[in-house]
Amino acid sequence: MSTEMAAVRHATACGARRGRVEFANSVRAGSDFAYYVIVSVIFLTVLFLARNETVEGTDVSVATFMLPGLIALQVVVAGAYGIATVLVTEREDGTLLRLKSVPYGMVGYVSGQLVRVVLEIFFSMALVLIPAAFFVPGLLADGPGALAGAAGYLVLGLLAVIPLGFVIGSVFRNPRSVGGWGLLVITAIVWVSGIFSPLASMATWMQIVGQFTPTYWLGLGLRSALLPDSAVLVEIDGSWRTLLTIVVLAGWAVAGFLLAPPLLRRMARRESGSGVAARREKALQRV
């Protein structure tokens, strides 16, 4: 079966190239580029206005507190919501069927999405982090050790949300419903994930809901790596809860990695030319 493994590896490599092309096409496309820029400008404006305020009871700048949460939000939006909407849209428009008709095309498709979304996340993170480094106080105060810790949480966060995106995208069928409902869910997540002010200071029910989201835990992990130790006081239980952070994010990752492959296979099996044609008819009827 080693030739089979080689064939899968080959398709994965084709997919990696696919991901790079799709990312480059996205950056070149005016509408996508405008989206990246507008989101970064909003984030940077919020951070800039908050740079001189401190989180109550600490000497930590609100901007410094918020930045890790915003990064976590970017990861979750691009990873889960981004992959889910792309998957549903590309099922409707026939991209998936196109890949299904070439050998190990679905392997290439999935590896392409992985590469695309990782490049996209790094790109949009850089658009925020590089300008923020000039005015957010104490961001790099702890040196390279802090950055290594943050990178570790980032990898764990990606592993948690990307399979989740594939799961959501393979279960739903209509791109417009994923777009609409997804946006509502994201708004809710922003609300309960303790991005703009500490979750510990919010209502109990929000704390409970918030602690189910990977956004909160990724934000917490990134804060534990990047913020000074004095900032821990504003967190729930006055603790970074490092072990629990790793367990929860790893739990999301394991659940996603167990669910995504069978759901993706089921989704791919159902694709056919007449299926795509029927969806095309339906989409064109909606005016």
Contact 234, 201 (CB under 8 A): yes
12 is a contact residue toward other proteins (CB under 8 A): no
Nearer to other proteins, 94 or 152 (CB): 94
**At closest approach, how far in Å is the CB of 168 from other proteins?**
21
Examine residue 277 and tell whether it contacts other proteins (CB under 8 A). yes
Residues between 23 and 42 that touch other proteins (CB under 8 A): 25-26, 28-29
Q: How many residues does the chain have?
A: 287
Q: Which of 203, 280, 217 is nearest to 252 (CA)?
A: 217
Smallest gap, in angstroms, from Cβ of residue 112 to other proteins?
A: 9
Separation of alpha carbons 121 and 81, rounded Å: 12
The answer to whether residue 276 forms part of the interface with other proteins (CB under 8 A) is yes
Only segment of 12-20, 174-182, 215-223, 237-245 that touches other proteins (CB under 8 A): 12-20
**Piece in contact with other proteins (CB under 8 A), picked from 123-131, 141-149, 157-165, 271-279:** 271-279
SS percent in the chain: helix, strand, coil, step 5: 80, 0, 20
218 vs 256: CA distance, rounded Å = 16
- Comparing CB distances to other proteins, the nearer of 84 and 234 is 84
Joined tokens for residue 203: 């209502």
CB 86 within 8 A of CB 113: yes
Among 46, 54, 100, 149, binds other proteins (CB under 8 A): 100
Angle between helices 273-285 and 83-92 (to 10 degrees): 100
Q: How far is the CB of 17 from other proteins (least distance, A)?
A: 7
Task: Specify the long-range contacts of residues 98-104, CB closer than 8 Å, at least 24 apart.
Answer: 100/268, 100/271, 103/7, 103/11, 104/7, 104/8, 104/10, 104/11
**Minimal distance in Å, beta carbon 14 to other proteins?**
5
Which residue's CB is nearer to other proteins, number 52 or number 101?
101
Q: Token match 């995106």: residue?
A: 165
Single out the segment in contact with other proteins by CB under 8 A; choices: 99-107, 173-181, 199-207, 217-225. 99-107
3-state secondary structure of 194: coil
Of 7 and 255, the one with the shorter C-beta distance to other proteins is 7
User: Are the beta carbons of 130 and 222 closer than 8 angstroms?
Assistant: no
Of residues 25 and 177, the one with the C-beta less far from other proteins = 25
Q: How far is the CB of 38 from other proteins (least distance, A)?
A: 20
Radius of gyration (Cα) for the chain, nearest Å? 20
Q: Which residues bind other proteins (CB under 8 A)?
A: 3, 6-7, 10-11, 14, 17-18, 21-22, 25-26, 28-29, 90, 93-95, 97-98, 100-105, 108, 271-274, 276-277, 280
